[in-house]
Amino acid sequence: MLKLLALDRFTILLIVMVILASIVPVSGQVAEVFGVITTAAIAVLFFLHGAKLSREAVVQGIMHWQLHTLVFAFTFLLFPVLGLIAKPVLLPLLGQELYWGFLFMCFLPSTVQSSIAFTSVARGNVASAVCSASFSNIAGMFITPVLVSLFIFGQSQHDYDPTSSIIQITLLLLVPFILGQLLRPWVYPFLVKFPSLVKGFDQGTILMVVYGAFSGAVVAGLWNEVSGTTLLILTVACSVLLTIIMLLALYVPKWLGFKHEDQIAIFFCSSKKTLASGVPMAQILFIGQPLGMIVLPIMIFHQIQLMVCGIIANYWSKQPEIEGKE
């Protein structure tokens, strides 16, 4: 119950940030200073993520390559294909910027914390979930910019080279992550001692990025361009996408003969997209674009996936344990 309340509180705070940015958007020099502070917070956040990840769990989980291959296929093949297939329907309904945001969401890696948390609640293979979700995020730092280059900017008038974005993402996200891994023996005891502080910093950083992104979008006239009908269409599109992915993530592992606990890990790691990595990546990849409209789809999808996965994980946690089920 406390976990569900925490999720609800974070959801409410995300909505508050959007409302606050709509009423009191940050702009001008203040926005520049706020952007620098946010960038520093993102680097610290990924340093903490690196320090939290157990090397033992990585070694144990990395051996299960079949599971990771399937999760990788869902995350970086199936999601993008479905997003591209939806283009003839969604582009006229949403407009170019929101469709770009929807497609960008499909290109993102999986979540880390919630994938692991839901797998644990549902009594799945936690070690493999840790490894698979972490690998997805690290791989996404390189794969997502390439997919954006090929399927978003490659079809526009932009002369876009993903190399500089990959370098920026590496410096901002991957380098702090690796540094956190290297300093884990000294940093991890602090993280264990103050878990609520780390969680608060994690969520606080996302809230800062969302506030900054929507401030820029509001200044550029976001709410003059996005109607209630468009928001409803976007919510339905995200819900339909999640339903298709979840049904496939539920049945494909069974058909392939994975054990029951592995099926659970695959289900939760394959069906989600990361807000924590997605918003910082969008800041780098979509410079000069309406960032608020780009991140709006992932914000909506994020809330839907958390609520649905929370219900499913809670339901599965109450089911009798199935030993060695194929």
Average pLDDT over residues 113-118: 76
Tell me how far apart the alpha carbons of residues 92 and 113 are, in angstroms, rounded to a whole number. 35
pLDDT at position 324, please? 45
Average pLDDT over residues 158-169: 62
Is 67 domain-assigned? yes
Q: For the chain, what is the radius of gyration of the CA atoms?
A: 19
Burial 287-303 (b: 16+ CB within 10 A, else e): eebbbbbbbbbbbbbbb
- Domain count for the chain, please give it: 1
Is 320 domain-assigned? no
CATH number, position 21: 1.20.1530.20
What is the domain extent for residue 242? 2-315
Average pLDDT over residues 201-219: 76
Is 139 domain-assigned? yes
Tell me how far apart the alpha carbons of residues 239 and 307 are, in angstroms, rounded to a whole number. 11
Q: Which tens digit of pLDDT belongs to each residue from 213-266? A: 778 767 766 667 788 899 899 999 999 999 999 999 999 999 999 999 999 999
pLDDT at position 323, please? 47
Average pLDDT over residues 264-285: 87
pTM tops 0.85, yes or no: no
Distance, C-alpha 10 to centroid of its chain: 15
Q: Which residue has the tokens 């914000």?
A: 299
Is 323 domain-assigned? no
- Mean per-residue pLDDT over the chain, rounded: 82
Is 19 domain-assigned? yes
pLDDT at residue 326 greater than cutoff 50: no
Tell me how far apart the alpha carbons of residues 135 and 285 are, in angstroms, rounded to a whole number. 21
Is 321 domain-assigned? no
Is 322 domain-assigned? no
pLDDT at position 61, please? 60
pLDDT at position 165, please? 61
Is 135 domain-assigned? yes
Q: Which tens digit of pLDDT belongs to each residue from 37-79? A: 888 887 887 788 778 777 765 566 667 788 989 999 999 999 9
